[in-house]
Copies of this chain bind each other. A is one copy, B any other.
């Protein structure tokens, strides 16, 4: 069965929408933040911990799993859900972004991308067909088309040629897609150019996918440009399909994305900053390494219901982070992921009552206060 998106409520004053996405591994409401499990594990966490924090869907990375342990191992295990013991919905990316950001000495041709593995330097070729074949074997609920993530800034000529090639790759990927239990998303590119974003969105929709991603943001552009990139493409996407803004997980950007009609978000930010001792709070990010927390025997946030806040103090988590103990990263990862997941939950409530803008204003006022 393919996924099915159900629109529950459109907010009156914005493009924000509350929906529900049905998959073969359960349903989740949108807008939703998706924790990232790059290597078939959300760093430091168990599947039970992800469920407890209300995680509806997770993302895993095709590029990493292709290199290690290899898609055949995952296939022989019975697919990614069985391999990693996660029975909820899983989305896989196409590997495109990782090839562009991690791989060495890449060479982009019409066929695909020739590059060297960031692990062992091995020469590898990733094509639209190969990306889909790997994802078919991983057997995620939602797969992504193979695309080029255009750098920022990029010349108009480069962006145009790349966007057109990504469209050809999208057609090839759809053609190659053979897993009937798996849904496939197209990706809107176009760099920083409004007309290219429009062309990319319209043509990708013409090919026809189960959902649409907005790619190529969060690559160095300023915030207004990023929000413009979203707007330039999203207006051409169909109402009855989910929209996913790739690689975005800053609380402010989630709010800006939702306001423009985005349903799904993912980012390594909450777990990455956790490993460096940072915690999201409603009054902005705090860094536990700060000396002022040395004898702070209160939780990260008094009002938070996460496992970390129910049982541990800032002073203890600070000690763990400074001592290099991974249990500290685990506690902060739980807190940060739950923070974003609960943020999307609060956003959904505000959409239901047509008070999204009031909610957003209140959140931003507190979050940016200090």
Contact = CB atoms under 8 A, between A and B. Distances in A.
Interface stretch (A77-85, A97-105, A188-196, A220-228): A77-85
A46 interface: yes
B69 A322 contact: yes
B43 A315 contact: no
B315 A77 contact: yes
B294 A73 contact: yes
Contact of A39 (B84, B297, B323): B323
Contact of A319 (B73, B312, B326, B329): B73
A334 to B, nearest CB: 10
A350 interface: no
A39 B320 contact: yes
How many copies of the polypeptide does the oligomer hold? Answer: 2
A315 to B, nearest CB: 6
A39 B45 CA distance: 20
A41 B77 contact: no
B315 A73 contact: yes
A319 B85 contact: no
Contacts of A76: 295, 297
A195 B193 CA distance: 86
Contacts of A313: 77, 83
Interface in A242-299: 294-295, 297
A311 B68 contact: no
Nearest to A312: B85
Contact of A294 (B43, B69, B323, B329): B69
A68 B318 CA distance: 10
B322 A68 contact: yes
A70 to B, nearest CB: 9
A322 B41 CA distance: 13
Interface in A12-66: 39-41, 43-46, 64
A240 interface: no
A41 B85 contact: no
Contacts of A78: 297
A124 B330 CA distance: 32
A312 B45 CA distance: 14
10 smallest A-B Cβ distances: which pairs? A69-B319, A39-B323, A41-B327, A85-B311, A326-B326, A41-B325, A44-B326, A68-B323, A76-B295, A77-B297
30 contacts: A39-B319, A39-B323, A39-B325, A40-B316, A40-B319, A40-B320, A41-B320, A41-B327, A43-B325, A44-B44, A44-B327, A44-B330, A45-B327, A46-B330, A64-B323, A68-B319, A68-B322, A69-B315, A73-B295, A73-B315, A76-B297, A77-B297, A78-B297, A83-B313, A83-B319, A85-B311, A85-B312, A85-B316, A326-B329, A326-B330
